[in-house]
Structure 1
Amino acid sequence: MTTTTEPAAEFELDILRYGLIEVAREMNEALMRSAFSPVCRDILDCTTAIHIRSGDAWETAAQWEGCMQHAFTSPHIVNFVMDEFDLDTLQPGDVIFVNDPWRGTIHQSDVNLLRPVFVDGRVEFILHSTSHLVDLGGPIPGGFSNGTQTAFEEQIKLPPSLLYANDVPVRPLFNYILENNRVPQLVLGDLRALHGCLVVGERQLQALVARGGLDRVKAAGRYAIEATEASMRRGIAGIPDGDYTVEDFLDEDGVTDEPIPVRVTVKVRGDSMEIDFSGSGRQPLGNCGTAWCEAVRCIEAVKLMADPGTPVNSGTLRPIETLLPQGSVVCVLPPSSCSNHADIGARCINAVAGALSEAIGDRSIACDTGTALVISLGGIDTRPGHGGTPWGAFALTGGGWGGTWKEDGISFCVTPIGNCRTSVQEHVEIESPLIVAQHEMVADTAGAGRYRGGLGSVYTLTAQADTIVTVTCDRVRVGAPGAAGAGAGAPAFGWYIKDFDLARHADPLDLRPAEPLFGMFDADGRPDPNHGGFCRGARYSTGKFSGLVLKAGDAIRFLIGGGGGWGDPLARDLGRLERDLRDGLYSPEFAVLAFGAVLDGERIDRDATARRRAELAALRAAGTWSVPVATPLNWIL
């Protein structure tokens, strides 16, 4: 193998840095093609990365993300692990396993495999694959152990441990993992896929080194990091210097009913930034805090707003320092439970995006739905021919992103923290005793604004065998806030429907057969985010619960809110609003209420609307009118 110390031309470095990204892409595609569970194969809750040696530490040179949050935490995971593992004892073909949140992983369901790559007898690269596993034991299938208060009540947790030695499985560790979960066939398949993609990656990386030379490939990795850092700094430099503070809330922690404050101050100085979470709530009794990962995961908001175009690597993180108060909701101390990381992560991104929106004003964006509404499912498949087989599955229901200064928000998608796909419904129905009866957009869920938010959705799931269900949901009290004077998106709701029949129960606004599970309801059971009570009359006093038994033949239905709007809804272009009405995105009633529209049949009366909008603007100035929170208006009770 030849190496050279001659400086490479910039175009050669550019070719080689994209060669590294291509290796990461090949790893990710190999992982998805060979994974057994829908979590990795369909939902894309996975990431692959290439780390290069940088003195005594490691930096991420290239990634290919499915789940966005893993791309931001990956640079730290490798350093957590390699600081502890004796590098000199590693051999070619060794693979390290870790899933400990206090050693870098996000929660115990996210497993990370690290493989050293030797060049001329020295470890020069670490290849990294990560994915959520469908189960690793614990009290409920799937890992979001809502209601637990310590990590000891959750799934199995391992420090950095050798999973493969010279590409031979370490049998005691495999046996321990496989005998402590409900679906060993899926877990074994996914572990082999996570290992196999590293083998693919090493083969491709060694070929790249053979073609370009070790020094040039490493130089290309450093060039990639520095190019991303420079681009991030240019983006941050375009934000006015200042301190920008926002406070948001989690609904509660699943144990108590107290809202949990998430307070952030973004301090911009030149081309660098400090994100300070001082003032955030104490670590919760429930499982919705995080061990450390908001140190980097919240930077997703900066990336989206300041530098959306460059690849994510260690250079993305260099211009930003994050302060996490120990013992707070963003930095829980062991043995606190932190299996439900999704809602606090989404809220931190919302808060940082809100602070940056305050800073940049007319180029701001509104908040996304702010909850993934993760549904974890499992049980014994009692359908004929399935022989009582244990099974497990996940569903991501999808909401909406916020409106921006130049366009409406994206509808019917997962929050940016994941940027994953929703479930592939055909696969759910083939592999699980479940039928996805509905998964579609719902009118009047998008925050009203000059540019509306993206729409939320309804998700109705029926069971063919008794199923244990865990629901992880926030934004139940208040929907995603708008920006620049716009309205909030709809909050989330859930219902249980016995003896489900699509012919009779297809209308998501018909509440007559439905038992409320959670939401904001008035005294009659009507969803009312403006004046209703939190979980009034509902089975649960939280959107975060475990152990619901969905009986065969019954259904659960969720309404997931949309993103916040951007700008004054009284300034929304009437042509756009007419198109929204034609497409069924807003009802005529909501268009009148939130946009000041005056309708003449299916068309908007321009002159009458202008007069009505002037009246509403005057009422708003007097403090007697405000933009209503988005919510469907035509409920049937």
Structure 2
Amino acid sequence: MLQRSASLGRPTAIELEVIRASLGGIVQEMQNSLFRTGFSTIIRESQDASCALLDANAAVIAQHVVLPLHIGAFPACTQAVLRAFSGDIAPGDAFLINDPYEGGSPHAPDMAVITPLFFDDALVAFCASIAHKGDIGGPVPGSCSGQAREVFNEGLQLPPVRYQRNYLPFGDVERIIAANSRTPELVLGDIRGQLGSARLGERRLATLLEKFGLAKCVAAFDELGGIAERRMRAIIKTWKDGVFEAERYVDDDGVELSKPVRIHVRVEKAGDAIRFDFTASADQTRGPANIRPPLVQAACAYALISLVDPNIFITSGILRSFTVETRPSSVLNPRYPAPVNTYNPTVHAVVDAIFAALGQVVPERSRADGCGSRSIILGGRGTNTGSSYVQYEIVGGGAGARSTRDGASGTTVNQSNAKIAPVEIIESEFPTRLLAFELIRDSGGAGKFRGGLGIRRKYLNLTEARFSIRSTKHVIPAEGYADGLPGRTGDIRINPDGDGWKRLPSRYADYPLKAGDVFELETPGGGGYGDPLTRDPVSVLADVREGYVSVEAAGRDYGVVLVAGPKGPSLDEEATQRLRAARSKAGAA
């Protein structure tokens, strides 16, 4: 491992900026390579992956942020490699890891590929990526069972293993992975794409080292981390001191369906120091709602970055600007082998709680809750080929409104940043047909600024399949902020237009679908911000004309009276003023 030295050469300010921009360009190029060589729709369409460069001590020196949670996962996974192979790492090596406990993968389908970079015979850095795999075994297609009771129900678990030595693959590793996947060609193709992006990163980083020299580059890595930490602390210092608390709830853990899962945060702010205390959160759950501490740390980093500087250069220096405490055997620090695979709803609750607490500190950056995240997974055999398939889709909803603008509609929110797969791709690659893909009127929470609208996606299934979902906010809605109203909850129904329709819980695994069955997903809307009676009536009228808000909701939620006309609804200003005055008087009483 490369040793630090006070005598290392230091880059000039201009050289530091060139190195910073070069590091950012390298991870961006790695990311582009990964998306273009991805075999699965999860990688090349939804882009559920991130790339990063880390120093010899496993600190992030640059990350292309598609998925913000990976700022905590990359160091934990790389530290696991260093623990397992310290003293036995050489040029041409490559390592795999997806173990959430021994490493930092959010769940087992998120597999990390990590390669070392040597320069002048010294280990200088690591090139890494984390990418979701469509299926790594387990009892259900997609490896994300909402009823898992332990990690052994969640597919193949890989501790740090050597994938290549001297640039030559270990075929046994690939055979083991292939034997544990329903879609081995796609999984191995994606892993090889990750490896290719890492090798590309090695070449680009080696060129940078040759240009500026080892000493200057290593000093720049340290300085960039220090700049990020100082930037964070300088802004945090301007915030008011105090203790601020908030909590949010997850619908359930997938096993105990009538028991919401509490996430509580206590934020202690003094000077440039900020501490996040989650010890009052719920005990670890029986079902797969648990998350590991690296994700809690990443969620805190994400929230702070959003409030301080969304354009800050991403390094592990950000992680040094705050501290986190979790309680062992809790939902945010579970004991092995507690299940973790449907982790995302819990992370969203953590993020929403943090924003609710910090909204008391930085009110100009406060916001309402968003829709959370969800995935739908179908598995079976194709109608034409007869081969196994896994259709894995990530679907967004409505973002929470902010203090200055409406929430975005039909989007991913918070730390989830993957894309919704295009209809053309889904229908051309899987035995399903999209019957509807639209925004849901009146699903955004009412407020001075309206919450974003949720999405309706309705599918016709063409063959026998096994269906799973991991979602949230089907029971507990996205909360509004500052008197804003909550968003509409989500829903998932099987054959919704028939007499024997069935509603599934927000986490469910392995529902059998027949050819001709229809399933309909409605995603939650975002919460509203501010008193709905203070929303500009012209904006309400525009929402009605756009189909975002109904005429009935305009009167009921916003106190805006609209009248029908030959060219559509128009605003009755006098009636609106009277109605709002009466509502305000009744509210005051």
TM range (shorter): over 0.9
- TM-score normalised to the size of structure 1? 0.88
The one-letter amino acid of 1:336's match is A
Distance 1:391 1:514 in 2: 30
Q: How does 1:64-143 map to 2 (within 5 A)?
A: 64-82=64-82, 84-102=83-101, 103-143=103-143
Q: 1:589 aligns with which of 552, 556, 560?
A: 552
What is the deviation of 1:495? 1.3
Q: Any conservation in 2 of the 1:73–1:104 contact (CA below 8 Å)?
A: yes
- Indicate the residue corresponding to 1:430 in structure 2: 428
Distance 1:122 1:451 in 2: 55
Q: 2:498 aligns with which of 500, 513, 531?
A: 513
- Indicate the residue corresponding to 1:184 in structure 2: 184
What is the deviation of 1:8? 2.1
The one-letter amino acid of 1:348's match is V
Structure 2 residue ranges without an equivalent (≥5): 1-6
- Indicate the residue corresponding to 1:150 in structure 2: 150
What is the deviation of 1:306? 2.5
What is the deviation of 1:143? 1.9
The one-letter amino acid of 1:405's match is S
What is the deviation of 1:250? 1.0
- Indicate the residue corresponding to 2:454 in structure 1: 456
The answer as to 2:268 corresponding to 1:263 is no
SS of 1:115's partner is: strand
The one-letter amino acid of 2:104's match is G
- Size of the aligned set, in residue pairs, is 577
What is the deviation of 1:311? 2.4
Distance 1:417 1:263 in 2: 18
Distance 1:356 1:143 in 2: 35
Distance 2:403 2:488 in 1: 20
The answer as to 2:6 corresponding to 1:8 is no
Q: How does 1:333-352 map to 2 (within 5 A)?
A: 333-352=335-354
- Per-residue CA deviations over 1:173-213 (Å, capped at 9, x if unaligned) read 11111111100110110111011111111111111111121
- Indicate the residue corresponding to 2:577 in structure 1: 610
SS of 2:59's partner is: strand
Moved more, 159-168 or 287-296: 287-296
The one-letter amino acid of 2:187's match is V
- Indicate the residue corresponding to 2:355 in structure 1: 353
- Indicate the residue corresponding to 1:562 in structure 2: 525
Q: How does 1:24-103 map to 2 (within 5 A)?
A: 24-53=27-56, 57-82=57-82, 84-102=83-101, 103=103
Q: 1:366 aligns with which of 365, 368, 381?
A: 368
Distance 2:482 2:119 in 1: 54
- Indicate the residue corresponding to 1:633 in structure 2: none
Distance 1:363 1:153 in 2: 41
Distance 1:5-1:318 versus aligned 2 partners, 3 A rule = closer
Q: Any conservation in 2 of the 1:495–1:514 contact (CA below 8 Å)?
A: no
What is the deviation of 1:515? 5.2
What is the deviation of 1:429? 1.6
The answer as to 2:577 corresponding to 1:576 is no
Q: How does 1:182-581 map to 2 (within 5 A)?
A: 182-256=182-256, 257-299=258-300, 300-370=302-372, 372-383=373-384, 386=385, 388-497=386-495, 512-513=497-498, 517-518=502-503, 540=504, 542-581=505-544
- Indicate the residue corresponding to 1:162 in structure 2: 162
Q: Any conservation in 1 of the 2:467–2:512 contact (CA below 8 Å)?
A: yes
Distance 1:170 1:351 in 2: 45
Q: Any conservation in 2 of the 1:17–1:223 contact (CA below 8 Å)?
A: no
SS of 1:266's partner is: strand
Structure 1 residue ranges without an equivalent (≥5): 498-510, 519-539, 623-637
- Per-residue CA deviations over 1:1-46 (Å, capped at 9, x if unaligned) read xxx9543211210111110111111111111111101111111110
- Per-residue CA deviations over 1:140-177 (Å, capped at 9, x if unaligned) read 11121111111122201011110111121111111111
Distance 2:52 2:95 in 1: 15
Distance 1:310-1:271 versus aligned 2 partners, 3 A rule = same
Q: Any conservation in 2 of the 1:27–1:200 contact (CA below 8 Å)?
A: yes
Distance 2:550 2:195 in 1: 51
Distance 2:484 2:240 in 1: 23
Distance 1:21-1:517 versus aligned 2 partners, 3 A rule = farther
Distance 1:238 1:586 in 2: 39
What is the deviation of 1:514? 6.8
What is the deviation of 1:85? 2.2
What is the identity percentage for the equivalent residue pairs of Structure 1 and Structure 2? 29
What is the deviation of 1:258? 0.9
Distance 1:214 1:466 in 2: 58
SS of 2:279's partner is: coil
Distance 1:364 1:137 in 2: 41
- Per-residue CA deviations over 1:402-445 (Å, capped at 9, x if unaligned) read 11111111111112222111112222222211222222211101
Q: Any conservation in 2 of the 1:73–1:296 contact (CA below 8 Å)?
A: no
The one-letter amino acid of 2:231's match is S
SS of 1:113's partner is: strand
- TM-score normalised to the size of structure 2? 0.95
Distance 1:129 1:494 in 2: 33
Distance 1:324 1:99 in 2: 22
What is the deviation of 1:553? 1.8
SS of 1:107's partner is: coil
- Per-residue CA deviations over 1:567-606 (Å, capped at 9, x if unaligned) read 1111111221111111010001111111011112211222
Distance 2:454 2:322 in 1: 32
- Per-residue CA deviations over 1:247-286 (Å, capped at 9, x if unaligned) read 2111111111211111111111222211111211111111
Distance 1:344-1:9 versus aligned 2 partners, 3 A rule = same
Q: Any conservation in 1 of the 2:250–2:476 contact (CA below 8 Å)?
A: no
SS of 2:262's partner is: strand
Moved more, 169-178 or 611-620: 611-620
The CA RMSD over aligned residues, in Å, is 1.7
Distance 1:512 1:172 in 2: 49
The one-letter amino acid of 1:23's match is I
Distance 1:50 1:148 in 2: 33
Distance 2:414 2:90 in 1: 38
SS of 1:164's partner is: strand
Distance 2:182 2:508 in 1: 20
Q: Any conservation in 2 of the 1:47–1:71 contact (CA below 8 Å)?
A: no
Distance 1:360-1:428 versus aligned 2 partners, 3 A rule = same
The one-letter amino acid of 1:375's match is I
Q: Any conservation in 1 of the 2:72–2:104 contact (CA below 8 Å)?
A: no
- Per-residue CA deviations over 1:59-87 (Å, capped at 9, x if unaligned) read 111111322222343233322332x1233
Q: Any conservation in 2 of the 1:52–1:59 contact (CA below 8 Å)?
A: yes
What is the deviation of 1:136? 0.3
- Per-residue CA deviations over 1:111-130 (Å, capped at 9, x if unaligned) read 01111100011111011111
The one-letter amino acid of 1:493's match is D
Q: 1:600 aligns with which of 542, 546, 563?
A: 563
SS of 1:89's partner is: coil
Q: Any conservation in 2 of the 1:493–1:517 contact (CA below 8 Å)?
A: no
SS of 2:87's partner is: helix
Q: Any conservation in 1 of the 2:106–2:295 contact (CA below 8 Å)?
A: no
Distance 2:271 2:65 in 1: 30
